[in-house]
Structure 1
Amino acid sequence: MRKKASISRAVREALASRPCVVEALKMNIVNYSALARFLIDDVEKRLGKKVNLASVKMAIVRLARYETVRRESLEKSLIRVIGASSLTFVDDIAVITLWEKGAYKMMSKLFEKAEKARFFQITQGVGHMTFIADNNIYEELRQEVPSNFIEAIIENQTAIVMTSPREILETPGVVSYVTSMLSSKGINITQFISCHTDSIFVVNKQDAIQVYMTLNELIEKFRQIMRKHD
């Protein structure tokens, strides 16, 4: 039993660096024998000894069963969270990034702007801060912030805000699922911000309608699934 457990662990570790293969396992579309032949050298290196091909295949089969059950459970959670979400479209915004020292010097003025802004978000990174604001506030900032404080500016942006139930705070994979879907359509996310139950996707204005429609169709699809199971 100890040998089998070691092989199982080595197989899990070998697959951990191959997320696409793991996804295929979850979908039950993998040839187990072919995958065992593909992984056996990696497994043997991890264990430091020769192993039986059949043992590697059996470890893959057990892992596939586990991942399938886990995927089904996760999908149910994703459907509940995304299906209960709603969207808000915020057009005409810009992204401005300041060097951290400059941002601190402007902080009181920035918060004054935030109070009257139609849309305003602040995120802090390592050595800089990014502000996302509606165009009116952005134009004021451009006039008042010294140019040497500014690291980067991205104009003509739109925010799509997905507001979800509190369950999103404890549900893994929601953001990954949505961003993967957008990525598959060739859409670049300029900024992503998570604010409690809000997932904020900032994208180029030219992509905004496609992003909104994609997310709206996904929400409606999951709502239909939820109604069928009620």
Structure 2
Amino acid sequence: MITISQAVETTVLKKPFLAEAVSEGIINLSALARQIQPDVEKMLHKEVNFQAIVVALNRMAPVFEISFSRKLEKMSKDIGEIVLRSNLADFTFLNSAALVKKQMKLWGKVSKRDDVFYTVSRGVFETTFVVSNSLSDILLNIFEEETLISHLENLSSVTIKLPPDNGKQPGLYYSLLKKIAWNGVSIIEVVSTTNEFSIIIDEKNVGAVFQALTT
């Protein structure tokens, strides 16, 4: 027969970020106990005093800490090399009927150049290009008749090579972004492919980001 402690552990571990908050002591256990009480009672098929749930949470905190720490440690070991590119600029244009054709024209000028950085993200209403500074004049010339929404310079990208099964690891992106946020760094853009994750930041924050990701 399942115990209250087992029911509490199962309920909390279904939400890994909740387990982390419990392990770090940054969540009110009484409030949490009241929140998960219906789930615990459903598992046990009986009413449970919320104080008993609080006691179980207190006892399980070290277990949650070990579990979450091991998962983060495994994620960190699986992350590959970190690649830095500097001297970048960010351009965001309003989407238009002609934008795709002009994007193809720009691609024709950069596709054979290995010395430049080029990414494009198309949203519902706007499209963003992050390119090497050396491409800025070319880009602005091609898109001169388009509506420029935003233009930022003095940027850098930090690209992280992810493990092949990264899509099956809950919390991977959270663990990376949390470290960066806790170091007080604002992220300007996020760009990803299946096995790569790039963040675009102000170049003055490169040191802080590297420290966050490697410690």
Q: Distance in 1 between matches of 2:143 and 2:22?
A: 52
Q: Distance in 1 between matches of 2:103 and 2:168?
A: 33
Q: Distance in 2 between matches of 1:72 and 1:145?
A: 48
- Higher normalized helix content (fraction of residues): 1
Q: Structure 2 matches for 1:209-224, cutoff 5 A?
A: 209-215=207-213, 217-218=214-215
Report how many residues are paired. 207
Residue from 147, 150, 173 that aligns with 1:149: 147
Counterpart of 1:106 in structure 2 is: 102
Residue from 88, 101, 106 that aligns with 1:93: 88
Q: Secondary structure, in 3 states, of the residue corresponding to 2:156? A: strand
Q: Distance in 2 between matches of 1:112 and 1:187?
A: 35
Q: Note if 1:54 corresponds to 2:67.
A: no
Counterpart of 1:38 in structure 2 is: 31
Structure 2: give runs of 5+ residues left out of the alignment: 42-46
CA 1:44–1:99: 2 relative to 1, 3 Å: same
Q: Decide which moves more: 185-194 or 111-120.
A: 111-120
TM-score by length of structure 2 reads: 0.74
Q: Structure 2 matches for 1:78-89, cutoff 5 A?
A: 78-82=75-79, 85-89=80-84
Q: CA deviation at 1:67?
A: 3.7
Q: Secondary structure, in 3 states, of the residue corresponding to 2:188? A: strand
Runs of 4+ in 1 over 4 A off after TM superposition: 39-47, 61-66
CA RMSD of aligned residues (A): 3.8
The 8 Å contact of residues 94 and 138 in structure 1, kept in 2 or not, is answered as yes
Q: CA deviation at 1:62?
A: 7.9
Identity across matched positions, percent: 17
